[in-house]
Amino acid sequence: MTDANPPVRRLGDWNPEPLRDIADEHGTPTYVIDLDRVEANAARLRAAFAGADIAYAVKANTSRAVLERLAAAGVDAECAAAGEVKRALDAGFPAERVRYTAVNPPARDLNYVLGTDAAADLTVTVGAEDTLNRVAERGFDGRLCVRVNPGVGAGHHEKVSTGAEPKFGVPYERAAAVCEQARGVGNLVGIHAHVGSGVSGDDLAAHRAMVDRMGELAREVGDLSFVAVGGGFGVPYRETESPLDLDAVARSTRDALGDVNARLAIEPGRYFVADAGVLLTTVNTVKPTPETTVVGIDAGMTTLARPALYDAYHAVRSLEPDRPEKKPTRVELAGPVCETADVLGRDRRLPAPTRGDLLAVGNAGAYGYEMASNYNSRPRPAVVAVADGDARLATRRETLADVTRLES
């Protein structure tokens, strides 16, 4: 939906006319995902990390349209749950290009993944000795990877800094021994660690330190096919932030890993899809108050959870054709959910909004629809996929009947 293909797409780069057409046809709130941009981001990763195994962290956006596009582009799939494994296989990822990297997997998940016809070709990552034992108890003797806790964490928020959180991975000092145990269960093909999500700026030093530790471990363990150092590469959510120098990150990663007899593997999620998506929402209420002008919109924390969950910033712009003629006004963008946290943005400057105005929320392609919920019994939004200028409905909007259909 734009001819430009810079390292990052800003909200202002989106052509407003086709977005207005989508809103007219499908209503709001609606997510729009540009599949051409997803593929362009994949190509940028492949160019920077030439020769590396590149997997998409499926949890960032599990839309069938996105998965099919990346499967066709030759990217692997990194799955955090049984449902994601099913989605990846259904979307056309060959089993040998699927890695199951679960955290404390429930028995139901393990039973499904290890019982599927594709299990023999999958790579199963274990993050605890007990998980390795559970895998062995189910008779799995295929491709194994050990997740390591490197003791180094970073990320855009404390809730997504994983590298030093005990929940994630085998403690570093135990990792080599667990790798040897894994060789007694199946075919140990790799080791894996992840420093956190939304890594950029000063956090890159922590990423480099983690990769350095993984290189040391790989040389100690030996005989591996790959060393996976996660993804977490950040994108600039604020208009004033600079894009990540992906080539420099790739060089730094290779330097930190050092000489290992294994391929480098990365598993980004956000970088593939964040700037490939926008959220369309409509103004339904304008309420002047002594403190600010509250602009009520039909998208809330059940539509886009990141602002409420992480205090995350998303750029917002008006898509109204006459917006340059309107006086900029400082507003609070509030959703329809009965929670104080249900504010998409505070102290934002927008052309004086009126009821019915169409707004676009930027960088909504990652962890947008994925984290949507039915809280307050609100139906989840629609998703429209765009490719080569054509728009199609990828996920229909839920109805009230959908919200209650599982109840008996």
Among all residues, which ones are annotated catalytic?
338
Contact 368, 312 (CB under 8 A): no
How far apart (Å, rounded) are the C-alpha atoms in residues 188 and 225?
A: 8
What residues form DSSP beta bridges with 266?
54
DSSP-derived 3-state class of residue 323 = helix
How far apart (Å, rounded) are the C-alpha atoms in residues 56 and 80?
A: 11
DSSP 8-state secondary structure symbol assigned to residue 399? -
How far apart (Å, rounded) are the C-alpha atoms in residues 370 and 365?
A: 9
| 3: CB partners within 8 A, 6+ apart | none
How far apart (Å, rounded) are the C-alpha atoms in residues 381 and 406?
A: 18
Please state whether the peptide bond connecting residue 29 to the residue before it is cis, i.e. omega within 30 degrees of 0.
Answer: yes
DSSP 8-state secondary structure symbol assigned to residue 350? E
What residues form DSSP beta bridges with 121?
none
| Amino acid in the structure at residue 218 | A
Integer-rounded Cα radius of gyration of the chain? 22
